Amino acid sequence: MAVLTLLSLALFIITFLGVNNNGQVEASHQLYPQFQSLTAINVLQLHRTAFHFQPPQNWINAPMYYNGIYHFFYQYNPKGAVWGNIIWGHSVSKDMIDWKALDPAIYPSRRFDKNGAWSGSATILPNNKPIILYTGVDPSDRQVQNYAVPANLSDPYLRKWIKPARLNPVVDPDQGVNASAFRDPSTAWWLNGHWRMAVGSKRNHRGIAYLYRSRDFFHWVKAKHPLHSAPHTGMWECPDFYPVLLSGKQGLDTSVVGKHVKHVLKVSLDVTRYDYYTVGTYLIGKDRYVPDNTSVDGWAGLRYDYGNFYASKTFFDPAKKRRVLWGWVNESDSTSDDVKKGWAGIQAIPRTVWLDPNQRQLMQWPIQELETLRGKNVQISHRMLKTGQHIEVEGITAAQVDVDVTFFIPSLDKVEPFNPSWSLTDAQLLCAKKGSKVQGGVGPFGLLALASENLEEYTPVFFRIFKSSIKKHIVLLCSDARSSSLEGGLYKPPFAGFVDVDLADQKLSLRSLIDHSVVESFGAGGKTCITSRVYPTLAVLENAHLHAFNNGSQTIVLENLNAWSMKKPLMMN
């Protein structure tokens, strides 16, 4: 029992590689041997984000907490801005805002990780000792699970990690496990005298989270049944399994079970490159997880974020009693652009996650610490937004801003019908069709981020409301990158998600964190989140503008808008 009060240190590390049976490394990402080890000479600053975490240069993708310090371990290429030479970069912070980079924590050095030190997670053992489980690639190119421990627990930054030869690897892929698709051990949880962890895998097209049990953390035995699996979902990367309270925003240690909680299983689906989750029940007797019948299990399921957001992990932060989600946001430009920029990949702003009172989905909100970066504030209240009207938010740094707005919808009479032939599982298709330019009934209304002076470039983030026979109202949130840049050769998708709200109060809120080349948005208080990467050519630095707009036939009231110019945190390298 004492263990339940001990805390899990979550460490989030990601793996993007597979190794095929010919022993050839095969990445989900393309490999670029010609660029892999080029040293970036110039780090281009134009689209570089200011308040989102990124290492000084090069390609990153992943994130931890222990004894008052937040640790972030990430898959990092020290030699170039494309995937390759992957080691565990390590940065530390007291608030997840200001960061200090340390020497790499883990890099290939032993037989059991000779060909790669990929993602993993951390757990805090009962004596308050952190331990990392990670995937190593051995000389036969098999994916094995290893452990690493801090060399000196008195060092508050846990700078040095050791990988004892004794007992490593702790898990070998057994008969029946595909050794080329067996990675990303989760944070372990303690239950009935055993530690448990999930490891991502697949068999044919079935995605699998294998379950392993151990008494001592070093000798692991595969359970007869996986924790969960689902057909036609492909490889499951970075499985994350944790409890959430039925009500309230407080987070829970990973080992908590009981009638007062539900469980969440998140998997990163390698085939679609999005992070999906289900809300469900952990059947303790059977040691299996079963999604609720309100959660779709697969590609049409709920996503943490409907934009660029992958390989995320959560951790329980005991200091603030919250569960924090951190995801990796890749670039939407080309590999050669990344080489020119000298950097690629940022982290989304860490988000507090909790169960929506409707118990069907999670809620997400930027950690409160972000607000310490808020500088100059501009407020606009009670303004009408008629059809076609824009209101510019002046006096803030529109390229680096936190904006939070509440719209009031005076009438829902003009809501446009939802054509039954449209897909209720593919919001992006609907956003592509309807966009911000096609006039609607109620909506499109929302924000125009990173807009150039004459609107040659802009990224609209907006709502559109439909009515249908199935459900009274269908609310769509879009973050449409199609007009974001005059530059060609970029990935400019009209990202979108549905928002599960009843509109009884006739209000919809939207918060966007705009940071040069990223627009990270939270619809309806964090019910639906979308992160877009955009690379304007005109709407840069002081030439970027921010507007609220309405292109629906129904007048909308901009009830309250607050925008804050954002300061740049310290990211010491």
Ligand X SMILES: *[C@@H]1O[C@H](CO)[C@@H](O)[C@H](O)[C@H]1NC(C)=O
Least distance in angstroms from the C-beta of 241 to ligand X: 20
**Under rule CB under 6 A, residue 386 binds ligand X:** no
Kind of pairing between the strands at 65-66 and 69-76: antiparallel
**Under rule CB under 6 A, residue 247 binds ligand X:** no
Least distance in angstroms from the C-beta of 451 to ligand X: 8
* Length of the chain measured in residues: 573
* Beta-carbon-side half-sphere exposure of residue 167 (alpha carbons within 13 Å): 14
Return the number of the residue (273 or 320) whose C-beta is nearest ligand X. 273
* Beta-carbon-side half-sphere exposure of residue 333 (alpha carbons within 13 Å): 25
Least distance in angstroms from the C-beta of 308 to ligand X: 5
**Under rule CB under 6 A, residue 436 binds ligand X:** yes
Return the number of the residue (124 or 235) whose C-beta is nearest ligand X. 235
Helix then strand then coil, in percent of the chain rounded to 5, is 5, 45, 50
Rounded to 5 degrees, what are φ and ψ at 217?
Answer: 80, -5
Least distance in angstroms from the C-beta of 490 to ligand X: 9
Return the number of the residue (155 or 502) whose C-beta is nearest ligand X. 155
**Under rule CB under 6 A, residue 549 binds ligand X:** yes
Residues 443-462 close enough to bind ligand X by CB under 6 A: 448, 460
DSSP state of 391: E
Tokens of 4: 């339940």
Return the number of the residue (370 or 481) whose C-beta is nearest ligand X. 481
Return the number of the residue (441 or 569) whose C-beta is nearest ligand X. 441
Q: Determine the 3-state secondary structure of 497 from DSSP.
A: strand
DSSP β-bridge partners for residue 385 = 556
Q: Interacting stretch for ligand X, rule CB under 6 A, among 103-111, 150-158, 211-219, 370-378?
A: 150-158
Contact 28, 16 (CB under 8 A): yes
Q: Which residue has the tokens 């407080």?
A: 250
Among 22, 30, 293, 469, binds ligand X (CB under 6 A): 293
Per-residue string for binding with ligand X, 459-498, x by CB under 6 A? -x------------------------------x-------
Nearest-angstrom CA–CA distance, 493 and 168: 44
Return the number of the residue (307 or 569) whose C-beta is nearest ligand X. 307
Return the number of the residue (104 or 525) whose C-beta is nearest ligand X. 104
Residues 258-287 close enough to bind ligand X by CB under 6 A: 273
Return the number of the residue (178 or 506) whose C-beta is nearest ligand X. 178
Q: Interacting stretch for ligand X, rule CB under 6 A, among 114-122, 152-160, 168-176, 369-377?
A: 152-160
**Under rule CB under 6 A, residue 121 binds ligand X:** no
Nearest-angstrom CA–CA distance, 302 and 279: 9
Q: Determine the 3-state secondary structure of 111 from DSSP.
A: helix
**Under rule CB under 6 A, residue 22 binds ligand X:** no
**Under rule CB under 6 A, residue 181 binds ligand X:** yes
Residues 202-231 close enough to bind ligand X by CB under 6 A: 204
The DSSP-derived string for 313-372 is EEEEETTTTEEEEEEEE--SS-HHHHHHHTEE-EEPPPEEEEE-TTSSSEEEEE-GGGGG
Least distance in angstroms from the C-beta of 100 to ligand X: 14
Q: Interacting stretch for ligand X, rule CB under 6 A, among 51-59, 175-183, 316-324, 502-510?
A: 175-183
Nearest-angstrom CA–CA distance, 465 and 475: 5
Contact 501, 524 (CB under 8 A): yes
Return the number of the residue (373 or 519) whose C-beta is nearest ligand X. 519
Least distance in angstroms from the C-beta of 206 to ligand X: 10
Which H, E and C letters describe 236-267, residue by residue? EEEEEEEEEECCCCCCCCCCCCCCCEEEEEEE
Q: How far is CA 276 from CA 81, 183, 279, 310, 476, in A?
A: 27, 17, 10, 9, 18
CB atoms within 10 A of CB 30: 8
Among 95, 155, 216, 502, binds ligand X (CB under 6 A): 155
Among 30, 154, 175, 421, binds ligand X (CB under 6 A): 154
Residues 387-416 close enough to bind ligand X by CB under 6 A: 388
Nearest-angstrom CA–CA distance, 384 and 559: 8
Give me the residues that bind ligand X (CB under 6 A), please.
Answer: 18, 20, 152, 154-155, 178, 180-181, 204, 273, 293, 308, 310, 330, 332, 388, 436-437, 448, 460, 491, 549, 551
